[in-house]
């Protein structure tokens, strides 16, 4: 059975029945139909930057390598049609060379363009949904492609319709981005707040985001990882006020981000760090010492070791703060994706 290690950034030792790399829609459809004919489960991967294999996959992994970027513009906007296999960070870099601004806050997010809508990727005050015009989807049963508007994608925090209604039998083949020419920098988070909004350039924002991420996040080729392992939890104002009192009692200031609906987003990494879990290890799976939100493969970690570590973190944070963390990473079992929250509960 072929080895999946090179096809996902956690680099967990796992195998699949078949691994097929596709560069055209026809190849993708043929691979899927062949798997259906053999009654085998299928899994579509881009760069595998947000998956954890719990065990060997008893099916066909189709690696999306659909390439190509098309650009058009009018007086007010740039419009990009990006095929799903394009590397996301390379897209951000390319856009700046074309003097197209708006993607810079999303620099260095690992993965492909086709994965961006599934998670509604986001960083430093910008989410994919803010830039999305449409998502192009292949219905593998009907062998036809259709488009969903950004509204139809039902985007939420690390959430979309592609985790639900269009989870099985559908493949994202391209995304459409709409970027205003009346660019305004988003400088809400971290050291970005130190920039002058009147004079800062998109390239300066890009460079600073890259600097921050590279200082905190391990290179997957050195230490296998899937980026942020947990979602930042969102709590009610009442629960936040209780947490704030608890933190102030210990002379701490809890990082928090008020949401438009009145709820409050917390920093999962801060919660984990306050539980003194940086560097904590189970087998070859460990909490990264510079960024507690990242779990790393320090050698030959197994999916079971990563799960045990994630479960320990979840239980420890819950005991200390009464907040239950949810995984951002997708968990892949023998026959496909499984419920991550159930796995680490």
Catalytic residue list: 158, 228, 328
Which helix H or strand E contains 307, and what residues bound it? helix 303-321
CA 35 to chain CA mean position, Å: 27
Q: Which residues pair with 234 in a beta bridge?
A: 265
Distance CA 82, CA 175 (A): 5
Residue length of the chain? 345
CB 103 within 8 A of CB 178: no
**Could you give the CA distance from residue 254 to residue 94 in angstroms, rounded to a whole number?**
37
| Backbone torsions φ then ψ of 147, nearest 5 degrees | -115, 145
Angle at 215 between CA 99 and CA 10, to 5 degrees: 95
d(CA 157, CA 259): 11
Dihedrals φ, ψ of 75, to 5°? Answer: -65, -30
CA distances from 118 to 113, 141, 161, 216 (A): 10, 20, 8, 24
Q: How many CA atoms lie within 13 A of 93 on its CB side?
A: 9
Instruction: Decide: 170 and 162 in contact? Cβ < 8 Å.
Output: yes
Specify the residue for token string 């799903």: 84
Among residues 165, 175, 172, the alpha carbon closest in space to that of 106 is found at: 175
Using a 10 angstrom Cβ sphere, with 0-12 exposed, 13-18 middle and 19 or more buried, the burial of residue 326 is: middle
């Amino acid at each position: 059975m072929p080895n999946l290690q090179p096809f996902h950034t956690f680099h967990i030792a796992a195998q699949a029945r078949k691994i097929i790399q596709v560069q055209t829609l026809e190849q993708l459809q043929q691979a899927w139909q062949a798997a259906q004919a053999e009654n085998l489960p299928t899994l579509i991967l881009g760069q595998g930057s947000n998956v954890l294999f719990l065990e060997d996959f008893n099916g066909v992994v189709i690696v999306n390598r659909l390439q190509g970027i098309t650009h058009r513009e009018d007086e007010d906007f740039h419009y990009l049609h990006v095929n799903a296999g394009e590397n996301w960070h390379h897209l951000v870099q390319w856009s700046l060379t074309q003097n197209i601004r708006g993607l810079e806050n999303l620099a260095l997010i690992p993965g492909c363009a086709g994965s961006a809508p599934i998670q509604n990727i986001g960083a430093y005050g910008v989410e994919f949904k803010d830039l999305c015009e449409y998502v192009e989807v292949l219905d593998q049963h009907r062998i036809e492609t259709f488009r969903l508007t950004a509204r139809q994608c039902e985007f939420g925090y690390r959430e979309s319709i592609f985790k639900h209604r269009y989870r099985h039998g559908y493949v994202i083949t391209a995304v459409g981005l709409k970027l205003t020419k009346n660019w305004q920098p988003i400088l809400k988070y971290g050291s970005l707040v130190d920039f002058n909004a009147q004079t800062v350039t998109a390239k300066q924002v890009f460079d600073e985001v890259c600097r921050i991420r590279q200082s905190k996040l391990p290179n997957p080729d050195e230490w296998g990882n899937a980026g942020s392992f947990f979602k930042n939890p969102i709590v009610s104002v009442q629960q936040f006020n209780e947490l704030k009192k608890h933190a102030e009692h210990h002379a701490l200031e809890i990082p928090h981000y008020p949401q438009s609906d009145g709820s409050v987003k917390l920093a999962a990494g801060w919660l984990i760090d306050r539980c003194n879990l940086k560097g904590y290890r189970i087998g070859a799976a460990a909490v990264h010492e510079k960024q507690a939100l990242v779990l790393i493969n320090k050698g030959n970690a197994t999916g079971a070791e990563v799960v045990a570590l994630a479960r320990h973190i979840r239980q420890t944070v819950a005991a200390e703060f009464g907040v239950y963390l949810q995984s951002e990473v997708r968990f892949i079992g023998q026959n496909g994706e499984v419920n991550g929250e159930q796995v680490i509960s």
